[in-house]
Amino acid sequence: EPEVTQTPSHQVTQMGQEVILRCVPISNHLYFYWYRQILGQKVEFLVSFYNNEISEKSEIFDDQFSVERPDGSNFTLKIRSTKLEDSAMYFCASSKDRTSEAPLHFGNGTRLTVT
């Protein structure tokens, strides 16, 4: 069964550094998402992406964050200058289309630790 893949599985970075989290959504999916989950807390929406542009973003997704789909397969999340509070699990997800039978499929996540 096709799956969403994310790399790296764990990223450690120093405060103020830039990080890029990478995702390969399922190939025939049209909608892409980034979520984050701070340890012990709920899953929080960051951004959704469709037709090569951001379709919606949350208050968390400020100017420090950006997303890109540089080619036909990768979907990346960049954090320009990381803060301690950016430490979390970051999940990429994709959805096939807008039908009722199109749930979200999640990748395994990238655990980001900012020191």
Partner 1 sequence: RKEVEQDPGPFNVPEGATVAFNCTYSNSASQSFFWYRQDCRKEPKLLMSVYSSGNEDGRFTAQLNRASQYISLLIRDSKLSDSATYLCVVNIRYTGNQFYFGTGTSLTVIP
Q: Which residues lie near partner 1 (CB under 8 A)?
A: 31, 33, 42-43, 45, 48, 50, 55-56, 89, 91, 95, 97-98, 100-109, 111
Between 50 and 65, CB nearer to partner 1: 50
42 vs 70, beta carbon nearer partner 1:
42
Q: Give whichever of 8 and 16 is closer to partner 1, judged by the CB atom.
A: 8
* Shortest distance, position 80 Cβ to partner 1, whole Å: 25
Q: Which residues of 16-25 are buried (b: 16+ CB within 10 A; e: fewer)?
A: eeebebbbbb
State how far the alpha carbon of 92 is from the alpha carbons of 10, 11, 14, in Å. 14, 15, 22
The torsion angles phi and psi of 102, rounded to 5 degrees, stand at: -125, 75
Q: How far is the CB of 92 from partner 1 (least distance, A)?
A: 9
Alpha carbon 18 to its chain's center: 15
